Structure 1
Amino acid sequence: MAELEAFISIIIARGAYAAKGLELSTLWSSIWGPSFFTQTMARNIYFSNEWDFSALCEMDSYKKVLCVTNLYMSSCSQQQLDVHLRNTWPINHVNLGSRYKYLVNRFPYFGKEDDLSSDQLLGSYIVLLLLELYLQCGRNVTKDNLFTSLELSWALNDKKTRLVSIVNCTRRKVPLIAKNFKQQLYATYVYKHKDTTLTVYQGKFNNNVILLSSLHPSVNIAANEETPETIQYYNFTQFGVDMMDQMARKHYVKSASRHWPVHVFFNVLDLACINAWILYKEVTGRKIKRMKFILELCK
């Protein structure tokens, strides 16, 4: 276990120093390299031949890292936080985060599911599976346009969950008046269908935004505001996951590899460091920069 923890520390620290522009070969240099690397572990690591890896090699590629991913996500999902949904790079995973920039759940998306019934949309199935622990609790879900549909809104309503989401204008059930909406800047059109409202907002001259909401029975615009309340609510609740994406890109542990399960493992480490940083600040009340926290974590 000590060697495994040292190995993970080296990976995280290597990513931190790579952000400073130091090359990999420099990190283990006896002249220029930080002593942390040479004192922790040698650069060249070899697996012992005493272990039987035959069973592991026969496994599906994703299953090789699934045990690590599941263990990590079971820990993250215990945190009861406000829920927002976002699809996140680099592998096709659908991630469930919070406005605290904290990841609470994730699900691998391969484009098809064996358990999908013939009358159920794939997108609705994926979202409901991801939100399974948070349904029937009166929560609100904010998400981007991935998997968004009227059927998803109805399915979430049945489970006491409200949806606020951007809608792709190419969706077949989007009204033609919404698809062809072109008005003066900041113009707003609201379309209501049963318990769902559709807000069409001309935020730019050549581009409008279509927003679906089962949370807002009506859409108001304050006298001193140009943006409808549905758009304001989306911008306020969605930023947490956007920030999580940006942080994962700014300081990351990834490196070149031809094996994509390795990249999944790297991504787990990146998100784990972000979650650990957020929890550390909440528990201790200490203000600490993320880079400094990462280096302390490695130590």
Structure 2
Amino acid sequence: MDQARRVVLELLEDMTGITVTCDNFFTSYQLGQELLRTKVTMVGTIRKNKAELPPQLLNLKGRDVLSSVFAFTSNTTAVSYMPKGKNVLLISTKHRQPAVEEGPKKKPKMITDYNHCKGAVDTPDQLIHNFSCQRRSRRWPRTLFFNMLDISAYNAYIIFTHVDSSWNEGK
């Protein structure tokens, strides 16, 4: 079993009835199937080099901009969305219909759900990037230490704002 899949399964060991949002490092068809066995659904971007992707999702020739191509198995849906000539690939064990939102961008519902949930990872990354104590170093223990300090400072900020919710209300 690969490392990324093992980490996700370990973290979700005792959880059921939730939906997990993954980036392309963690997402795979096998992970989705294993999570379904524990009653956990998954939505995530997937890399183009994965063997489980059908070739119809990878082919961009003759496709219109803002078009979507769906692929289905009995319990998994994959989508290829093409904004501005780029191929965005997602798989989901939560979605079963080829739903596309109305509007100028014609985004598949899977992408909208993914974008709605991925902020839990992107927001801390952005804050840590803006307010970091990181310094350039060729020594990995020092880099790891700086990263631990950054994450600890962010966690302290979250706890402080939860305890004193009136602080920073105007911003």
Say yes or no: does 1:176 pair with 2:55. Answer: yes
Letter in 2 for 1:196: T
How far does residue 234 in structure 1 lie from its aligned partner after superposition? 0.8
Cα drift, residue 168 of structure 1: 0.8
- Distance in 2 (CA, whole Å) between partners of 1:199 and 1:161 is 20
Q: Deviations over 1:18-69 (max 9, x none)?
A: xxxxxxxxxxxxxxxxxxxxxxxxxxxxxxxxxxxxxxxxxxxxxxxxxxxx
Report how many residues are paired: 167
Counterpart position of 1:160: 39
Matched, 1:229 2:116: no
| Structure 1 portions without partners, runs of 5+ | 1-119, 290-299
Query: 1:142 aligns to what SS in structure 2?
Result: strand
The one of 1, 7, 10 aligned to 1:129 = 10
1:94-152, Cα deviation, whole Å (9 max, x unpaired): xxxxxxxxxxxxxxxxxxxxxxxxxx3343223212333xx432111111110321111
For the structure 1 residues 228 and 256, does the alpha-carbon distance in structure 2 shift closer, same or farther, using more than 3 Å as the test? Answer: closer
Please tell me whether Structure 1 or Structure 2 has the larger radius of gyration of its CA atoms.
Answer: 1
Query: 1:275 maps to what in 2?
Result: 155
Deviating above 4 A after TM superposition, structure 1's stretches of 4 or more consecutive aligned residues are none
The one of 94, 99, 107 aligned to 1:215: 94
The answer to whether the 8 A contact 1:163-1:214 is kept is yes
Shift of 1:283: 2.2
One-letter code of the match for 1:131?
L
Task: Please list the CA deviations of residues 247-269 of structure 1 after superposition, one character each: whole Å capped at 9, or x if unmatched.
Answer: 11111122354532232122111
Instruction: Give percent identity, aligned residues only.
Output: 30
- Write the mapping of 1:85-124 to structure 2, written as runs, cut at 5 A: 120-124=1-5
Secondary structure, counterpart of 1:151 in structure 2: helix
Following superposition, the deviation at residue 282 of structure 1 comes to 2.1
Aligned equivalent of 2:122: 242
- Per-residue CA distance 1:57-91 (angstroms, 9 max, x = gap): xxxxxxxxxxxxxxxxxxxxxxxxxxxxxxxxxxx
SS at match of 1:160: coil
Q: How does 1:254-265 map to 2 (within 5 A)?
A: 254-265=134-145
Q: Select the structure with the greater relative contact order (CA < 8 A; seq sep ≥ 6).
A: 1
> How far, CA to CA, are the matches of 2:168 and 2:64 in structure 1?
46
One-letter amino acid of the counterpart of residue 243, structure 1: T
Contact in 2 for aligned 1:181/1:200 (Cα 8 Å): no
Letter matched to residue 87 of structure 2: N
User: Offset of 1:212 from its aligned partner?
Assistant: 0.3
- Distance in 2 between residues matched to 1:131 and 1:176, nearest whole Å: 31
Q: What amino acid sits opposite 2:150 in the alignment?
A: D
